[in-house]
A = this chain, B = another copy of it.
């Protein structure tokens, strides 16, 4: 509501007053795209009796080995208790291991075991297949735009965290 989708007094409307349909299109494509992408790995997870929450942890541990728990908590933005259960499951299955931090021995640095690395890679394969075909269909220019828009959705206070993930590529 409150969006003048047809009436426009000034010739170039402020980009903050985009036509409603452009926004709805983005909302819908994000919903379908995100949910369908995540569905690509459900089968692989179910084979180990794990869920998506486990994958998210696995993924970011794979991405940043020796990640302290506090960093993972910030990334996932869930509570310590929720993450605790997930990490217990992953440890019980021998997919994740911890060691004490060398600079601060209170920290537990998270790492995938060899089995964890293999499992994460298997799940990642499914993600890569989905994303790669979408990238290929859209073309490299579109991929850049895709990244740019998504970056704009990340609040300033979280942006450093995402950049940190991608800097050591």
Interface residues of A (CB under 8 A from B): 1-3, 15-18, 20-37, 56, 59, 63, 77, 117-118, 121-122, 124-125, 127-139, 141-155, 158, 162, 165-166, 169
Q: A21-B169, A128-B18, A154-B32 are in contact. Are A135 and B149 (CB under 8 A)?
A: yes
The minimal Cβ–Cβ distance linking A92 to chain B, given in whole angstroms, is 23
Q: Are A30 and B34 in contact (CB under 8 A)?
A: yes
Chain B residue at smallest Cβ distance from A15:
B136
**Within the complex, which residue of B21, B24, B125, B132 is in contact with A15, where a contact is CB–CB below 8 Å?**
B132
Inside 8 A of A26's CB, which chain B residues have their CB? 131, 135, 143, 146-147
Inside 8 A of A133's CB, which chain B residues have their CB? 15-16, 152
Q: Are B32 and A2 in contact (CB under 8 A)?
A: no
Q: Are B151 and A29 in contact (CB under 8 A)?
A: yes
Inside 8 A of A124's CB, which chain B residues have their CB? 1, 20, 23-24
Give 6 nearest A-B pairs by CB, closest first: A145-B145, A134-B152, A142-B145, A15-B136, A1-B121, A29-B150
Inside 8 A of A117's CB, which chain B residues have their CB? 1
Offer 27 A-B interface pairs, CB within 8 angstroms, sorted by A.
A3-B128, A15-B133, A16-B129, A16-B136, A18-B128, A18-B131, A18-B135, A18-B136, A23-B131, A23-B135, A24-B63, A25-B166, A25-B169, A26-B131, A26-B135, A32-B153, A32-B154, A35-B77, A36-B158, A134-B151, A134-B153, A137-B148, A138-B151, A139-B148, A142-B144, A145-B145, A146-B149
